[in-house]
Amino acid sequence: MKISELRRVKIAVLDDYADVARKVADWDAISGKPEISIFRDHLTDPNALVERLRPFEVVCLMRERTRMDRNLIERLPNLKLIASTGLRNAAIDLEAAAEHGIKVVNTRYESTPTIEFTWAMILGLARKIWIENASLRTGGWQTTVGLDLRGKTLGLLGLGNIGSKVAEIAKAFEMNVLAWSQNLTEDKATEHGAKLVSKEDLFEQSDIISIHVILSEWTRGLVGDSELRLMKPSALLVNISRGPIVDEAALITALREKRIAGAAIDVFEQEPLPQEHAFRKLENVLATPHIAYSSESLLETFYKDTVSNIDAWIRSKN
């Protein structure tokens, strides 16, 4: 690729909701002075997305916000590089990208923001902070009573990189910790201060269930109506992993019928969440817009790595 051609490389940065891409990374450091377009909005209409992305050789994705499926990839003849943040991105059809000669690159990832956010959600839900904040902002005062964590049982669905750290922090709150996943061993559970139990016992005995498994064909719908019916009426559910792991309709029903006390949810079946969705309205739901990983330090890592990845790709073509 000649220098004159480098100047014509067009880069699209998608779904920069918080307008941080330009602030945390030096995009001007990319070789060849490419044309960079940063989009803060999110397009769901496939045709509109094709029209937006058609001119670009490079598309930068923020995690799984925009799906790069086969249909989209095949309609973008100019696309040569997909620069994704994170170690993996389930929203990219890697086979289709390979077939069309499109390179896919990723960035480093750090789980600390998600671990910290898990506890923000647990504490916020247990102490009903969002309810009291809303009351205060509308001229009211105390309306609820919060839940103590000491002596309560935390059930972890998954005890990997994130779940294991959540378990260790639970000990600081003097909580009992149970854990279950398909391949979890008793030794590993014990190593992280948890007790391995069956899936049924996890849901029956826990005061708070927190989900920490990745989304796969095996985990899709892993928490459904039968699991929710095992939970105590006073129990709480926290999901900061992926929306489809929980049967959304079953959870909404359980919350509406007050079969569980509440849920803290950061991830959804459809994102952004539709305006009329029940999770925006239910009183016993603490919901946030998929921000568990969205900290200053991690976004800086994501975008700086993305700039480096694109620069390396351009230089390799020169």
Q: How far is CA 246 from CA 106, 129, 188, 226, 253, in A?
A: 27, 24, 25, 11, 12
CA dihedral (76, 80, 84, 89) in degrees, to 10, reads 60
**Token pair of 111, please?**
């789980």
Q: Which of 129, 217, 111 is nearest to 169 (CA)?
A: 111
Q: How far is CA 206 from CA 153, 179, 209, 210, 237, in A?
A: 5, 10, 6, 10, 10
* Beta strand residue intervals within the chain, DSSP E: 10-13, 35-38, 58-61, 81-84, 103-105, 153-157, 176-180, 195-196, 208-211, 236-239, 262-265, 285-287
Integer Cα distance of 145 and 139 in angstroms: 18
Q: How far is CA 217 from CA 46, 295, 301, in A?
A: 24, 29, 30
List, by residue number, the catalytic residues: 242, 271, 290
Integer Cα distance of 302 and 308 in angstroms: 10
Residues facing residue 277 across a β-bridge: none
Q: How far is CA 22 from CA 16, 25, 37, 261, in A?
A: 10, 6, 11, 42
